[in-house]
Amino acid sequence: MLTTAQLISKYGTPNDEGTYLVSIDLPYPMRLSWDLNTKVTKIRCHRLVADKLKAVFTDLLAHYGYQQIVALGIDLFGGCFNFRKMRGGNDYSRHSWGVAIDLDPDRNMLKETSRTARFARPEYKPMIDIFYKHGFVSLGVEKNYDWMHFEIGS
C-alpha cells in the first residue's frame, strides 16, 4: 500500500476541483448503493489509474457475467472520487485522488472483519484477485477491515 508521500509523488497533491480526474465508461451498468434505482455508467477517477480501473471491470464482467455481478452485489457503487480527509484522521483519503473505489458498502462496512464482510466469502476471491492483477489492493485482505475499499497499490 502506498503512503501519502508516495501518492503525492506519483499522483500529485489532491484538490477539491479534481483537475487530475477523467471519466471512464463502465463495461456494465452499476447501481448507486444508496439509491438502487440510479444507474451508474461512468465514474470519475485519476487519469493515471483510469485504464487499470476499466480493465478491472472488464475482467469482472468476463469472469462473472452481468447476472452474477448483480446477484453478488459487485455492481453496487459506493464511490470513487471524494475530496476529504480519512475518517478520524488528518491524512487525505485515497478517494481524494480518485485512486480508490468502494463497492457494496452496506454489506462490507468499514469495521467489518472477514467474519462478517460479504467480500470475505469464497465467491468473491476471483473479484479480489482481479483487482490485485491490475495493481489495486483490498483493505479487507491487507488489514481485515473496510472490505468495500480497493485502492491503487503502486
- Taking only the tens place, the pLDDT of each residue in 106-129 is 999 999 999 999 999 999 999 999
The pLDDT of residue 89 is above 80: no
The pLDDT of residue 5 is above 80: yes
Q: How many CB atoms lie within 10 A of CB 135?
A: 16
The pLDDT of residue 8 is above 80: yes
The pLDDT of residue 87 is above 90: no
* pLDDT attached to residue 150: 98
- Taking only the tens place, the pLDDT of each residue in 12-64 is 999 999 899 999 999 999 999 999 999 999 999 999 999 999 999 999 999 99
* pLDDT attached to residue 104: 98
* pLDDT attached to residue 101: 98
- Which domains, ranges and CATH numbers included, belong to the chain? 4-152 (3.30.1380)
In the chain, what is the straight-line distance between the N-terminal and C-terminal CA atoms, in Å? Answer: 7
